[in-house]
Amino acid sequence: MSEERVGVYICHCGSNIAGTVAVEEVSQWAAGLPNVVVSRDYKFMCSSLGQELVEKDIKELGLTRVVVAACSPHMHERTFRATCERAGLNPFLFEMANIRELDSWATDDRVAATQKAKAMVSAAVRRVIHHQPLQLLPVNINPNTLIVGGGIAGITAALEIANAGYHVYLVEREPSIGGHMAQLDKTFPTLDCSACILTPKMVDVAQNKNITLLSWSQVEAVEGYVGNFTVTVRKKARHVNEEKCTGCGICIEKCPKRVIDEVFEAGLGYRKAIYRPFPQAVPKYPVIDTASCIFFQRGKCKACQMFCPAEAIDFEQQDQILKLEVGNIILATGYDTFDPRRIPQYGYGRLANVFTSLEFERMVNAAGPTGGRIVLRDGVTTPKSVAIIHCVGSRDKNYNEHCSRVCCMYSLKFSHLLHERLPDAQVYEFYIDIRATAKRYEEFYHRILEEGTRFIRGRVAEVTDAARLPGEEGKLIVQYEDTLIGKQRRLPVDMVILSVGMEARRDSRELAQIFGLGCEYNGFFIERHPKLDPVNTMTEGIQIAGACQGPMAIPEAVAQGAAAAARVLSLISQGTVMMEPVRAHIDAEKCSGCRICNNLCPYNAIVFHEDRKVSEVITALCQGCGACVAACPSAAITGAHFTDEQVMAQIEGMLWDVQPQFAVTSTETR
């Protein structure tokens, strides 16, 4: 029998717990459990009065263990550990029973809830007796930061951290930073020219001494833990020597191979095999697309090399593998647009004059494939009527249930630009709701209303060229239901723009695996808490910022980029961070040297000593998953704070009401 003195505290949490669980009954019952010296119930344990109750009891009653039955440990474990520490008790001699989220909130059966609460309290009491005092482990934070993704969120974060005086590696997989924002023409609601507000920041990044810009590069592997990551980055070969290239662009002019630019021009324009995505690209060095380059495919040409005045073309250039040591990582990898080919009724890909919003954005851009002229697919004809269809691939159970947040606003923007460039054109917007939720958005909507756009509330059933009625021949017919008048109608127009939604990047899952993050079902990265912690992730040391977390517009992405940077700077300025001591430890005496554990560790934290023929856990690398603990056939590995004795005791406690009847008399004495 143990001599520990356990104090049990049952929280009412107002009526959150007390409304379903009979808290006084549980408290009285708990008083009768072995080793329990005092058992109380209180309205709000996390309040200062509640905590003082615990502190007082620890000091006056000489408690050696504390159990609080309340909310989730993710909520207040830290709070109560601090309480114990203040009273002089090691914070790890504390256990929490979650009788709120996992009990009172999950059922309305009062009898069952109370029974379950008793089980959880009994389990916690039995477990805590086996707890050992543990100390937090200090970890040094490397002040370097890795930012993956050079869009507006990544650029913002990079500048914030760099200006604070710390070094940043900004890795971008395209030849230039800028992301999707660089593709846009005007931004809502101010109608600022996107490139004009973005390019100064891009130049800042290029010139900032504290930022190492690695464009045309990708992260291949990540090892380590917070404060001590080792990241393997592949700097792909540009085949242009950055030391020599002056950015004059003659190579691009002379290149004979023209291909469709699927990325920057959204498939609407062309580029050469050697190219810069756009004129203001940062860095200015072009890149050779070896899949299209005539030399790489057939061994001929070399025009770029011939004409380059600086002799900067290097066909032999190899990819470089870099290993970066960083303390923190921010993922700002952005989004992809919904592929409307998944909705064949809208005719994208079959009907020439159906465009996506991104294609239209490029068309309307003065630096785009049509020089800013709004034309049909033939490149010549100006449309006289344009239909803009909202919610393509969003707010739709068949594709994506989420609302993409930005499409209403950019659709309104398109309407404005159409009226500006084509004063005689008639513009129709087909919407479900107009979501204009941020500052000055609603006012922008009112402005558009006054410009003569026709708004039709109703989803579009199909876009077709099968003419039926007079006036439809040669046009695109939008078949829709006008819900405000309750009629089905057909509208012939010249051009249709599909406001496609925002989705996670197609490869977000692969990326999440590399970094050890979680992804939602739709591919967006999971934040630590949707309300209170949108930039942190479950993995210490890795933050997310921008549209990779969820659909959002530029102001939100900037805010998140800055927030992530602030988090990183906070860790850097702390210099040392205290880590939970949930680690594994191998008892060398018991280890038989079978090495089963060696390969199980995902962090390579277990080494084998050839001389002594025993394995050892490198505490700093161990993350405490317990895989080795479970696997050891000699039970030589202990998982601190999750030992076999603790879990077994917890199991016994959980089954307090059935154990006496059904349990087999144990042959072990404990």
Partner 1 sequence: MDNSYEPIIVGFLCNWCSYRAADLAGTSRLHYAPNMRPIRVMCSARVEPQFVLKALREGADGVLIAGCHPGECHYVDGNIKTLRRYELLKRMLRQLGIEEERVQLVWAAASEGNVLADAVNRMTEQLRRLGPLRWRETVLGEDGRTVEHVDDTMAKEV
Partner 2 sequence: MKYGYYPGCSLERNAAAYHQSAMAVAGPLGIDLIEIDDWNCCGATEYFSINLLPAYALVARNLALAQHQGVSDQLVAPCSACFLNLTKTDRYMADSPKLAADINEALAAGGLHYTPGSVRVRHLLDIIVNDVGYDVVAARVSKPLIGLRVAAYYGCLIVRPGYGGMLDDPEHPTIMDKLLRVLGAEVVDFPLRTQCCGGHMTQISQEVAYEMIRRLLKNAADYEADVIATACPMCQLNLDAYQANVNQFFKTDYMIPVLYFTQLMGLAFGAPPDELGIGKEFVDARPALSKIGVAMPSSGTPRRSETSKEALPMPRLEEE
Contacts to partner 2 by CB under 8 A: 260, 267-270, 341, 344-345, 347-350, 352, 356, 359, 363, 369-370, 375, 377-380, 462, 464-468
When the beta carbons of 148 and 629 are compared against partner 1, the nearer one is: 629
Nearest to 502 by CA among 630, 405, 614, 589: 405
Which one of partner 2, partner 1, none is in contact with 321 (Cβ closer than 5 to 8 A by kind)? none
Helix, strand and coil in the chain, % to nearest 5: 30, 25, 45
Cβ partners under 8 Å of residue 497, min gap 6? 355, 356, 357, 360, 386, 387, 388, 389, 411, 414
Distance of CA 89 to the CA centre of its chain: 38
Answer yes or no whether residue 26 interacts with partner 1 by CB under 8 A: no
Taking the C-alpha atoms of residue 286 and residue 284, their distance in angstroms, rounded to an integer, is 6
Closest to partner 1 by CB, 249 or 624: 624
Indicate the residue among 328 and 337 with the shorter CB distance to partner 2.
337
- The token pair that represents 511 in the structure block: 């990326």
Minimum CB–partner distance for residue 516 and partner 2 (Å): 33
Which of the listed partners (partner 1, partner 2, none) does 651 bind, with a CB threshold of 5 to 8 Å by partner kind? partner 1
Q: Which H or E element spans position 40?
A: strand 36-42
Nearer to partner 1, 252 or 625 (CB): 625
Partner that binds at residue 243, options partner 2, partner 1, none, CB closer than 5 to 8 Å by kind: none
Q: Which of 518, 574, 576, 590 touches partner 1 by CB under 8 A?
A: 518
CB-based contact 340:392 (threshold 8 Å):
yes
Both structure tokens of 182: 């660089």
- Contact predicate 146/231, CB 8 Å: yes
In the complex, least distance from residue 348 CB atom to partner 2, rounded to whole angstroms: 7
d(CA 66, CA 84): 8
We find the least distance from the C-beta atom of residue 498 to partner 2, in angstroms, to be 11
CB under 5 to 8 A by kind: which of partner 2, partner 1, none does 578 bind?
Answer: none
- 411/539 with CB nearer partner 1: 539
CB of 549 to partner 1, least distance (A): 12
Q: Which two tokens stand for residue 27?
A: 């408290």
Of 221, 538, 578, 596, the one binding partner 1 by CB under 8 A? 538
Please report whether residue 19 would count as binding partner 1 according to CB under 8 A.
no
Distance from C-alpha of 605 to C-alpha of 602, rounded to nearest angstrom: 8
Beta bridge partners, 65, equal 6
User: Of the listed pieces 255-263, 308-316, 328-336, 643-651, which binds partner 1 according to CB under 8 A?
Assistant: 643-651
Rounded to whole angstroms, how far apart are CA atoms 317 and 308? 16
CB of 365 to partner 2, least distance (A): 13
| Residue 370 interaction partner, one of partner 2, partner 1, none, beta carbon < 5-8 Å per kind | partner 2
Q: Does 14 bind partner 1 (CB under 8 A)?
A: no
> What is the x/- site pattern for partner 1, positions 77-116, by CB under 8 A?
---------------------x-xxxx-xxxxx--xx-xx
Which two tokens mark 410? 């950019």
Structure letter (DSSP) for residue 104: I
Side-chain-facing half-sphere of 488: CA atoms under 13 Å: 4
d(CA 483, CA 47): 53
User: Is residue 594 part of the contact set for partner 1 (CB under 8 A)?
Assistant: no
Please choose which of partner 1, partner 2, none residue 379 contacts, taking the beta carbon within 5 to 8 angstroms, the exact cut-off set by kind. Answer: partner 2
* CB 351, min distance to partner 2, A: 9
Nearer to partner 1, 419 or 641 (CB): 641
Three-class SS state of 63: coil
E strands of 158-255, at which residues?
168-171, 186-187, 192-193, 211-214, 217-225, 228-235
Q: How far is the CB of 177 from partner 2 (least distance, A)?
A: 26
- Min separation Cβ 426 and partner 2, Å: 22
The two structure tokens encoding residue 107:
């059922």
Reading the block at residue 86, the tokens are 């203040």
- Both tokens assigned to 644: 């076999």
Question: How far apart are the C-alpha atoms of 218 and 230, rounded to whole Å?
Answer: 14
What, of partner 1, partner 2, none, does residue 56 touch, CB below 5 to 8 Å by kind? none
CA distances (Å), origin 497, targets 182, 365, 369, 458, 478: 20, 15, 17, 16, 11
- The two tokens of residue 317 are 């250039």
Q: Say whether residue 544 binds partner 1 (CB under 8 A).
A: no
Given the complex with partner 2, which of 269 and 624 has the nearer CB atom? 269
**Binding site partner of 133, from partner 1, partner 2, none, Cβ cut-off 5-8 A by kind:** none
Q: Which does 269 bind (CB under 5 to 8 A by kind): partner 2, partner 1, none?
A: partner 2
Give the relative orientation of helices 48-61 and 73-86 as an angle to the nearest 10 degrees.
50
- The site for partner 1 (CB under 8 A) is made up of 72-74, 98, 100-103, 105-109, 112-113, 115-116, 119-120, 123, 509, 512-513, 516-521, 526, 538-539, 582, 600, 602-603, 623-627, 629-631, 639, 642, 644, 647-648, 650-652, 654-655, 658-659, 661-664
